[in-house]
Structure 1
Amino acid sequence: MILQALCGYYDRFAEANSSEIAPPGYELNSVSCCIVLDKEGNVCDVIDMIDEFEVTGSKGKKEKKRQPRKMITPQQPKRSGSRPEAAFLCENASFIFGVYKDRAGAEYRFKASRDIHEKVLAGLEDEGAQAVLAFYNNRKQGTYLYEGVDTSYFEDGGNIVFLLDGESDFIHNRPEIQAAWNRHLAQRSTEASIGQCLVTGEVLPIARIHGNLGGFGQDKPTVVGFNQDSFVSYRKEKGDNAPISENAAFKYVTALNMLISDRNHCMHMHGDKLLFWAEREAPVEEQAILGLMEGGTSQPDKLLDEVRNREIASILDSLYKGKSPEELGLDPHVRFYLLGLSSNKTRVVVRYFYVNTFGQLVTRLQLHHQDIHIAGPTWEPEHPSINKILIETAVLHKSENVPAPHRSALVRCILSGGLYPNSLYMAMLGRIRAEAAANAKTAINRTRIGVIKGYLNRLSRKSNNKEEAITVGLNKEDKTISYLLGQMFALLEKAQSDALGNVNASVVDKYLNAALASPQQVFPSLLSNAEKHFSKSKKYNIKMRIREIMQDIPSNGYPKTLNAEDQGRFLVGYYHQQQDIYTKKDKLDSKKDDETSKDSDQNHEEGI
């Protein structure tokens, strides 16, 4: 099913004659420089193919970035071992010039490169082919081209292509040379075993080795691979154990690499990759899915005009507010595929694969954002992305510390509408407890509390106990004792702040973990110590509010301990009460500023 969907994605672009996708025998490669040859094979020039552009860095500063140019070139072979196969007309300097760390390796690579070009181009009268053959015949292995050439072009391991002097297109794009390359590929196919393809059902040459995937750092994993003798079965070796035709193997690998390299179809999630695509052309629907998964934090697509970007932003805003795709003129029936991948050195691990309609996906994503939505300050994301949620589980907020199971488990629960992973919930509680002593304000943040709220609400929904559902903001009708204790904790913190101002260690910094573990031991002493602070809290009558809460505490007093779910409710209650306090403070300050401004204007007019 996965490979069939990927082959279908490739066919969709191929049928449209899209320049974005490589035909069989070719692939999209990064090219660092171009060698310009005259008709006698002499080097005329070296052209830098690395593009430089500005990007906005993590701190908002403009930074210059250099990136090799992408172009479709003849497909490079899969290489391993000490005697790798050379590529045709798109290769690095170790093969084209024989510049390598040791003499034996350099001689082997240069000879391998010369041999493949002589084999493919032999007998051609094309001027580009003749120039390349002359270049190899004129070369003295191990030396650079001529004095004055910048060797940095060749030492970074980047790919090199050829251009005939006076021409505008590269030698690998010349029709006669492409025809020769295709004949060479066809000859190799006749040497392959014949079998029934598992993807198409057709009887075709079977791919012995499948292509590598890019985008996984130094790893170049494959989806299908058999590189141990233990995989040999009934004398079938390599790809014969899972017979997929060369044509289908090329299509799915090309489609995967195209999706991975496209930021509009690939989300990078701390080591995993989430690929998604529609069964037909649906750019607005695809942008909507991306925006909902990224929490509306994705940057405008530079390939789209300003009007289209504004349209997509408006659609996302409407979807967050609960509108249906039909109301926005979108097709709810277009089928979407979502594929989660991670690398295990030489293999790709498929984490999940979902197929659903656009309408169903939107419904699940809307439910997710609704469940984790919580009132909070404007500087924190209202709709956190999947990546933002995951990074909140990591020690020191480092990407490499995101637990691997969380990545796929979170996506699965969002796409299925099921319970959030208990491990994710416990990780949020754990990070809050671990970080609160150092800085409670950053530890207890909007994203973490939102996920805790979402977990508890879905758990409550599963138990058909909707009366206990946690609201977006402070709910004075919620009499759950853990929720009330969280509110009281925030009020005690506010009383301390009003009385003493900023202190090195607040009530939350010092007592949060103890309050979560043993409220019966902590709250009586906290209330006793806070009596002298109450009179200083004027804008928010803390003593009265605490008295109201105390009336709802059961007669048997505070609980001895709180279980994991009650600890979450405690934290939500604390956060709700804290936001209510400071929201009212902001409103009072704003009202005071308005009155001051009016008095100033009146005095100014009287002075005139």
Structure 2
Amino acid sequence: MLHALREYGAKLGGEPGFKSREVRWCIQLSEVGQLLNIVPLGDGKAGIMLERCADMHGMVSGGKAHFLVESAQTIALHFKEGEEPAKVDSATARHQYYSKMLAQAAVDLAVLSHPSKLLCDPVSLDQIRAMMVEKRVKPADWVTWQVGAIDPREDADVQQWWRDWRLQDLGGGVETGDSLPVGSMLCLLTGEPVEPLLTQPKISGLSGVGGLSMGDVMVGFDKAAFQSYGLEKSTNAAMGEAPAQQYVDALNHLIRQQKEATSKNPSRRTNAMMVYWFKEHIPPEDDPFSMLYGMETDEQQTASALSQARKLLDAIRSGNRSALGNNHYYAMTLSGASGRVMVRDWMDGQFVQLVSHIEAWFSDMAIVHREGGNRLAPDPKFLAVGGSLVRELKDLPASTTSVLWHAAVAQLPIPQPLMAQALDRFRSAIVKDETFNHARMGLIKTYFVRQPQGKALMQPYLNPDHPDPAYHCGRLLAILAKLQRDALGDVGAGVVQRFYAAASTAPGLTFGRLVGNSRNHLGKLEGGLSYWYEQQIAEVMKQLGDQFPRTLNLEGQGLFALGYYQQLATLRTPKKDSNNSNTQGESA
């Protein structure tokens, strides 16, 4: 896992001493050093991510500052009103460190001479602070510089100066050779002798899933029980500075991508975060995870994810997209706990296998639309499936998200507890007369499809020849409910609301009364419609045989729910369309 992350980080150009930051403001100077303006970066709600910002080591000890890109408080001594004296003193020390380092760099770098002179001039510093107050810059906001048309952060000479300064400040590097240098170890990621990091860089962005706002560590040892051979902290998992920075940069990049997608659709927030990447770059339209996860959590989609996956799979297998067949995918489910990154799931494999599993997920999830007709419900996005198990998506446990993710990506069976949870939510919706949730019904169907021989028995549309009596008990309840409504109109709490729970668990004790009462309803209908209902009831009774099952276990209750739902969808289908529904169900 860490090797794959490190490779990804290397492609991003990950390097010790540099870090991506969300920068909100830019101090603009003219070519001759005149203060022009302080302009906002980003959309007003968030800044923009700037790559390769200098990252100072040893910040925990205090008194230090990052080079070039820093907070408004550190750069210009910009404080909120009434700031505590201790914090003012601490920030002042960091400002002095920052100004001194900038002046030192300006000796060799002409592009930094103007920012350095500006900070040394009390009048200019007051102007910067006044402008920050006017622009409502927060003291903690990150700020960068622009001199004329030049961004010093991107200047190659500036970056090299920082590398040299940093290496000197760290006391030089560790020389490698045929034998291990004194005090060095073999890096777990490269196998090369290194001076191992005592503490590894932090991974940020997991505060929404249990992590800390200051960041979390992937590899860390802060308890004696986890340490061996007298080693301290992260030396128990020895890694060199560069490879450790690369895997951390990779994770930070992946988390940022996921957070950007979530920020566009807050309803996607859960208690776990899924991140993924590919060994070789692929265009967004060929991304199977995008088909699965998508931008929407509702059912409004312009294209079928199932057809997209099938089209891509056919192209790979036919040789039209053979390069994709050699690609690999990597996926992780992350959350935070007490300052540590929790890896709840890890998957990797062939790209073509992934596409095949995504296609199978949508195929197995396919279910008739709740309004009937010869159409299937829209392909549900992944979080719509998870959200169907809880009242609100934020209540979905991270462990459940991980299990569902694994079921979709690795084509594993749906665990029975998740089917039971979906069934419980279905029963609750029935009693409250809520709209049917397509994703929930698809998940219950997928549970049975992924059982032995389940694919042949469970179709998207109604299966009149299903061998299990529980399925036909659900069908019968749907017919009796429709009969009551046609005979009596809207009577408030009808057959379903009053008897669903009992009928779905103990049909042998419930249906005798319901079927008997249906004769009264038949008598209120005109002859043709009464005869049609008698035929429907007789057809289902024929499948049930001599008697109703006395009780139903959990799987029987799931089949009951599917029978009820699919029969009701069929009853809502116009008569002219009903003859083609089974044919379409087989092709779905």
TM exceeding 0.5: yes
Change (3 A) 1:37 1:297: closer
Structure 1 stretch 259-268 or stretch 92-101: which is displaced more? 259-268
Aligned length, in residue pairs? 544
State the Cα deviation string for residues 23-68 of structure 1 (Å, max 9, x = none): 543222211111234689774421122336xxxxxxxxxxxxx331
Counterpart among 555, 576, 585 of residue 566 in structure 2: 576
Determine if the alignment matches structure 1 residue 169 to structure 2 residue 150: yes
Deviation at 1:357, TM superposition (A): 0.7
Structure 1 stretch 559-568 or stretch 175-184: which is displaced more? 175-184
Q: 2: CA distance between counterparts of 1:315 and 1:289?
A: 9
Q: Tell me what 1:238 maps to.
A: 233
| Aligned pairs (5 A) from 1:479-494 | 479-494=467-482
Q: 1: CA distance between counterparts of 2:226 and 2:35?
A: 48
Q: 2:221–2:233: 8 Å Cα contact kept in structure 1?
A: yes
Q: 1:33–1:153: 8 Å Cα contact kept in structure 2?
A: no
SS at match of 1:74: strand
TM normalised by structure 1 equals: 0.80
Q: 1:223–1:347: 8 Å Cα contact kept in structure 2?
A: yes
Determine if the alignment matches structure 1 residue 47 to structure 2 residue 39: yes
Name the aligned partner's letter for residue 219 of structure 2: V
Q: Tell me what 1:553 maps to.
A: 544
Structure 1 stretch 96-105 or stretch 493-502: which is displaced more? 96-105
Q: Tell me what 1:302 maps to.
A: none
Q: 2: CA distance between counterparts of 1:80 and 1:183?
A: 18
Q: Tell me what 1:603 maps to.
A: none
Q: 1: CA distance between counterparts of 2:32 and 2:149?
A: 18
| Aligned pairs (5 A) from 1:526-605 | 526-534=514-522, 535-536=524-525, 541-555=532-546, 557-584=547-574, 587=577
Deviation at 1:248, TM superposition (A): 0.4
Q: Tell me what 2:84 maps to.
A: 102
Q: 1:223–1:348: 8 Å Cα contact kept in structure 2?
A: yes
Determine if the alignment matches structure 1 residue 87 to structure 2 residue 81: no
Q: Tell me what 1:270 maps to.
A: 270
Q: Tell me what 2:291 maps to.
A: 292
Deviation at 1:425, TM superposition (A): 0.8
Counterpart among 356, 359, 363 of residue 352 in structure 2: 359
Determine if the alignment matches structure 1 residue 154 to structure 2 residue 137: yes
Q: 2:76–2:95: 8 Å Cα contact kept in structure 1?
A: no
Q: 2:291–2:305: 8 Å Cα contact kept in structure 1?
A: no
Change (3 A) 1:111 1:566: same
Determine if the alignment matches structure 1 residue 221 to structure 2 residue 216: yes
Q: Tell me what 1:28 maps to.
A: 20
Q: Tell me what 1:126 maps to.
A: 109
Determine if the alignment matches structure 1 residue 71 to structure 2 residue 71: no
Counterpart among 462, 470, 476 of residue 464 in structure 2: 476
Q: 2: CA distance between counterparts of 1:568 and 1:277?
A: 36
Counterpart among 235, 244, 248 of residue 253 in structure 1: 248
SS at match of 1:104: helix
SS at match of 2:191: coil
Deviation at 1:184, TM superposition (A): 2.2
Q: Tell me what 1:198 maps to.
A: 188
Counterpart among 443, 454, 457 of residue 449 in structure 2: 457
Q: 2:54–2:66: 8 Å Cα contact kept in structure 1?
A: yes
Q: Tell me what 1:370 maps to.
A: 363
Q: 1:190–1:205: 8 Å Cα contact kept in structure 2?
A: no
Deviation at 1:119, TM superposition (A): 3.7
Q: Tell me what 1:182 maps to.
A: 163
State the Cα deviation string for residues 308-333 of structure 1 (Å, max 9, x = none): xx9xx699625347746323722323
| Aligned pairs (5 A) from 1:379-418 | 381-394=377-390, 396=391, 398-418=392-412
Q: 1:222–1:346: 8 Å Cα contact kept in structure 2?
A: yes
Q: 2: CA distance between counterparts of 1:237 and 1:288?
A: 42
Q: 1:406–1:423: 8 Å Cα contact kept in structure 2?
A: no
Name the aligned partner's letter for residue 137 of structure 2: F
Deviation at 1:543, TM superposition (A): 1.9
SS at match of 1:505: coil
Q: Tell me what 2:581 maps to.
A: none
Structure 1 gaps, min length 5: 15-21, 53-65, 300-309, 589-608
Q: 2:22–2:50: 8 Å Cα contact kept in structure 1?
A: yes
Name the aligned partner's letter for residue 552 of structure 1: Q
Q: 2:306–2:359: 8 Å Cα contact kept in structure 1?
A: no
Q: Tell me what 1:57 maps to.
A: none
Deviation at 1:482, TM superposition (A): 0.5
Deviation at 1:533, TM superposition (A): 2.3
State the Cα deviation string for residues 70-112 of structure 1 (Å, max 9, x = none): 2224243589879475222212223223325312112212312
Change (3 A) 1:153 1:208: farther
Name the aligned partner's letter for residue 326 of structure 1: R
Deviation at 1:451, TM superposition (A): 1.0
Change (3 A) 1:468 1:558: farther
SS at match of 1:222: coil
Name the aligned partner's letter for residue 482 of structure 2: K
Determine if the alignment matches structure 1 residue 325 to structure 2 residue 316: yes
Name the aligned partner's letter for residue 85 of structure 2: R
Deviation at 1:294, TM superposition (A): 2.6
Name the aligned partner's letter for residue 336 of structure 1: Y
Deviation at 1:450, TM superposition (A): 1.3
Change (3 A) 1:69 1:296: closer
Deviation at 1:247, TM superposition (A): 0.5
Deviation at 1:381, TM superposition (A): 4.7
Structure 1 stretch 357-366 or stretch 267-276: which is displaced more? 267-276
Q: 1: CA distance between counterparts of 2:396 and 2:414?
A: 16
Q: Tell me what 1:304 maps to.
A: none
